[in-house]
Structure formats: structure tokens, C-alpha cells
Amino acid sequence: MWMGGGVPLGYEATGRTLKINEAEAETVRYIFRRYLELKSVHALVAELKAKGIRSRLTTFSTGRKRGGAIIDRGSAYKLLANPAYLGKVRHKDEVYEGLHPAIVDQDTFDAVQQMLEANRVTRTTGSARRTESALMGKLFDEAGEPMTPTFSVGRGGKRYRYYVSTAALTGTARATGEKVTRLPGPQLDTMVATMISRLSGDDGLTLERVGIRSRGLELLLACPDRASDVTGILNSVTARLQSGERAWISDDQICVATSTRVAFRGGRASIEGAFDPSRRVNGKLVTGLRRAHALARKANFSPLATTAQNIRSPSPGGSYDNRLLRLAFLAPDLQQQILDGDQPAVVNLERILADEIPLLWSAQRSWAWTSQIG
């Protein structure tokens, strides 16, 4: 029997049992279904908020009201784990068959519990992830929506950390071209930290907000409480700006815009620019470089040999290998940049093979990183 207490969303109390409130029950089924689709309580709560879905509003005879609030994460977890929706009643640590009808079927309820448990295991590393994601709560996309940290697990269990816009998580993002909805976390964290360290100097500025733009970033820096001369701090920051940056005062805070841009590769966005110290190794390009050296060894080619000696060496078979072989003759510093991932995004294997590589190393350095590629 129903022994009283708070009535779950989707039901109404009638005597010692519960009856279904069909309008609310449909909301409950929607919540269960969307959690399985979104695979995240955080994303689910954001969607419920966007749709204006709230808890039941109860008005007592005294006029006091309870409920009608936004469904937060705690409420969502409690709802998704409530056996009442299977037609059961929990009493202390035991669950019994109830007299009321179920709202969700057993398969759906079991699938939700399995996902909750799997995500609960993942959250055991949540504090570490929050520590890693230095911009959590401070990063916003072009529409002003917060970007939240998340991660995926690749082959071999390697974790890849990202910042994703709330609109993308909840599926409410509109197709608006190359709007930034997902960015690599470590790369962005490192770049912003490096900029703040340089811009703050001895002025004690702290980061308040980072706005992502398709053509750059905007950093809002708060002045220390003791600061009385914001204009003087602006002048100090301006003296530390680099090419492509500008600064101004906004509500007694310092706003800095950079020309660091967001590059799109294969449908994914990445941050790149003169102030980005992070590395992005192009595996395909590195593999091509290694194969080029293997071909050179097999054909007895060498950058240190004379032209006559290289002419007498047998040519690799196939036009592709012939063009690939040229990578072995790149200047050593350019090859090292490829191995370290320090080459610009536009420098990839396809574009190198399609272009003509100069023979002189000095000419290669001018060629490789200019608009001649791309």
C-alpha cells in the first residue's frame, strides 16, 4: 500500500494507493526516454529547463505552495531511480510490489538503472576531471551558452577531453554553419592559461569569462579589489599585447580580444594561432614522413649525398612513392616540427604531395608555412 509522503510526478494519491495522472505520466516517460538517448543527467536537466518542464506544483489549504521548481540534477536522479514507476513501493531498504499501476516498462527502467550505474562509475573520476577542466563555468560559445567539460574514450582506453556547448548536448543547436560547439579541452586550457600569465603580469588580474568566437577569443579579466586605477592597468596590459590582440575597459574589467582562430578539420573544431603552445600531431603526415625515409634508405637516397650519387640511385616504383620520397629531403627543422605536431593545420600530406617542394632548405622554410599551401 501507499503509506503517504511525497507523491511522485505522474501519480495522484487516492486512499492507500496511487492512480496515474496521464499528462504527468507522459512527462515521466519522456524523461526516461530522453535520458537513454542523451546518456547524461546534466544534458537531460538542461533540456528540461529549456523546455520549461518543472516538478509538480502543490498548493496546500493554508495557501503554502510546494514544487513547481526546475528539475535539478538531484531531482532527476531521484526520479530516474524511483521504483514507484514500475508499480512498486520502497520501504526503508526493501522494495515491494505495489497496488498502483506502472508508468514505465521493466526493460526501460532496467536500461536506465544500468546507465545510471555506468555513469556513477565514471563520476568517481569526476573531481579529477573538474580539476583538469580549468575553464568550467567560465567558457561560453558564440550564442552566450555555457560550454561544459566532457570526454570520450578512444582505443586502448585513452581519454579525450572536450568542451561542448549546452545547446549541442541537448540537441537544441541550430544549423548555423561553422558555429563552434565542441573544442579540445587541453589545448584551450593551455592556451588561455599562457595568455593570462602573460597579460596579467604583476597586476593581479583574474579570469572571469572566455567567449569563443569563430575568428578569435574574448577574455574578460577582473581587476583586484584594491585596484583604483583601471585605466593604468589597461595601459599595462596593452603594453603586453602581441600582434592580433587588443584590449579595452568593460565595466571596470579588462576585456582582451585575440585573433587566435578556430580551425575546422573534418567537421571538428580546434584552436590555433600564434599564442597556442599546444601540439597537434598529424598521424597521417608523420606516417608519410617515415615511409619517405624508408623509401630513401631502400633506394640509397640521402640528403647528404651528391646530386650525381642520388641520380645513380634506383627510383622507387610508382608515382605516389616518387612524390612521397621528397618528404625525406625536407629541412631537418621542418621534419621535427611535423613529428612534434607544431606544423600549421593547413600543412597536411595531401597538400604537400600536390605542391612542388623547393630543393633549398632556406626556400623550404619560406614555402612550407606560407599561403602556398592551402
Residue 302 predicted with pLDDT over 70: no
Cβ distance 89 to 96 under 8 Å?
yes
pLDDT in the model for residue 366: 66
Label residue 274 by pLDDT band (50, 70, 90). very low
- Tell whether pTM > 0.85: no
pLDDT in the model for residue 49: 86
In the block, residue with C-alpha cell 600530406: 349
pLDDT in the model for residue 176: 46
pLDDT in the model for residue 311: 53
Per-residue pLDDT tens digits for 85-116: 999 888 767 888 888 999 999 999 999 988 88
pLDDT in the model for residue 141: 83
**Distances in whole angstroms, Cα of residue 117 to Cα of each of 25, 33, 80, 128, 131:** 24, 17, 12, 19, 23
Number of neighbours of residue 100 by Cβ within 10 angstroms: 22
Q: What is the DSSP string of 334-366?
A: HHHHHHHT-S-TT--HHHHHHSPPPSSHHHHHH
Q: DSSP assignment, residue 172? A: -
**Is 159 in a helix, a strand, or coil?**
strand
What is the percent of the chain where pLDDT is above 90?
10
Which is higher by pLDDT, 65 or 207? Answer: 207
> What is the rounded distance in angstroms from the CA atom of residue 86 to the CA atom of residue 105?
7
**Distances in whole angstroms, Cα of residue 127 to Cα of each of 97, 121, 131, 133, 181:** 38, 12, 6, 10, 24
Label residue 262 by pLDDT band (50, 70, 90). low
> What is the rounded distance in angstroms from the CA atom of residue 221 to the CA atom of residue 210?
9
Given CATH 3.60.21.10, say whether it is the number of domain 11-124: no
> What is the rounded distance in angstroms from the CA atom of residue 239 to the CA atom of residue 253?
17
Residue 270 predicted with pLDDT over 70: no
H/E stretch holding 150 = strand 147-153
Q: DSSP assignment, residue 262? A: E
CA geometry: angle 236, 239, 245, nearest 5 deg? 115
Mean pLDDT within 40-68: 81
Grid cell in block for residue 314:
634506383
Label residue 372 by pLDDT band (50, 70, 90). very low
| Residue ranges of domains in the chain | 11-124, 133-272, 283-368
pLDDT in the model for residue 104: 93
97: exposed, middle or buried (Cβ count in 10 Å: 0-12, 13-18, 19+): exposed
